[in-house]
Amino acid sequence: SKRIRIALAGNPNAGKTTLFNAITGARQHVGNYPGITVEKKEGFASSGGRELHLVDLPGTYSLTAYTQEELVARNYLIDERPEAVIGVLNASALERNMYLAVQVLEMGLPMALALNMMDEAAKQGIRIDAARLSEHLGIPVVETVARNGKGVEGLLTQTAAYAEQRAGSWEPLEISYGPDLDPVISEMVERIETEKFLTDRYPSRWLALKYLENDDEIRVVGRKTDKLAEELEAMAAKVAEHCKKTLSTYPEAIIADYRYGYITSLLRDVIVRDTDRQRIDF
């Protein structure tokens, strides 16, 4: 059967490399992405008779184009379209770590979440209702301790099964960006969806958001068809001017605010802080 490609994405220090090592053991090799110094770690494993090909993406906090690491991570996800992504999250700082995971979900890729460092979270009196988070997002969520391998087998089984179930389909998470941006996002999506070469390559809503975020890399790609790029840029510029005039802010700031708002309400009934700090065994 076909190899399932799985990319590990997460903030720096979430435990990606530790998890990658726990999964692949000695079956790995390190190289570089072409032309740049960012390290590329690949490895292999098997789970329930399935062959898995793993890639340890560079650690990032976001998927904008501000750093080489962010560009490498997001280009890999867009260009290579792995069958699944494992979002590696530091469970003791879940809100902050979800910011990247939500962006991957907005791209629409099949993703499972590893709530890593559960030992550390437990020490801090933080409990996480993984089943509830899984239910809210409709994706596998598995508690792990990468350092001792706890939860890793279950994570792989669930991720591989979910990848097969999704069969490469994009199912982008749709977050509302409020009354100032939602209408223009819909307008841009409608325009983007008239161009097959774009929708073959990018999730349309994600592409619209990139234009609103003033993302240089994406805008270059849009220039392949000058007229279309100009139209999308004009839509983005118009709403940016409106935001500046009436709200003294920028679309990218509004987008970040709403994304954090979404995460806060998503996690409201998921994280339970144990005020007694009673010992939680994990």
Burial class (CB in 10 A: 0-12, 13-18, 19+), 240: middle
Cβ atoms of residues 26 and 43 within 8 Å: no
- Residues between 214 and 253 with contacts to ligand GDP, criterion CB under 6 A: none
* Alpha-carbon torsion (28, 164, 86, 259), positive or negative: positive
Closer to ligand GDP by Cβ: residue 103 or 204: 103
Residues 6+ apart with CB under 8 A from 123: none
Smallest gap, in angstroms, from Cβ of residue 18 to Mg ion?
Answer: 8
The one of Mg ion, ligand GDP, none whose footprint includes residue 145, by CB under 5 to 8 A per kind, is ligand GDP
Task: Identify the three-state secondary structure at position 53.
Answer: strand
Find the binder of ligand GDP among 39, 120, 195, 252 (CB under 6 A).
120
Closer to ligand GDP by Cβ: residue 76 or 177: 76
Closer to ligand GDP by Cβ: residue 121 or 137: 121
- Residues between 19 and 78 with contacts to ligand GDP, criterion CB under 6 A: 59
Find the binder of ligand GDP among 12, 25, 48, 183 (CB under 6 A).
12
Q: Is 85 in the site for ligand GDP (CB under 6 A)?
A: no
Q: Site map for Mg ion, 7-46, x if CB under 5 A?
A: ---------xx-----------------------------
Closer to ligand GDP by Cβ: residue 148 or 176: 148
Q: Site map for ligand GDP, 144-163, x if CB under 6 A?
A: -xxx----------------
Residues 6+ apart with CB under 8 A from 62: 70, 99, 100, 103
* Cα 139 from Cα 89, distance rounded (Å): 14
Closer to Mg ion by Cβ: residue 17 or 124: 17
Alpha helices, DSSP H only, in the chain?
Answer: 16-24, 68-75, 94-107, 118-123, 130-137, 152-166, 178-192, 196-199, 204-212, 216-222, 226-247, 251-267
Task: State the Cα angle at 255 between 250 and 261, rounded to 5°.
Answer: 130
**Binding region for ligand GDP (CB under 6 A):** 10, 12-18, 59, 116-117, 119-120, 145-147
- Which parts of this chain interact with Mg ion (CB under 5 A)? 16-17
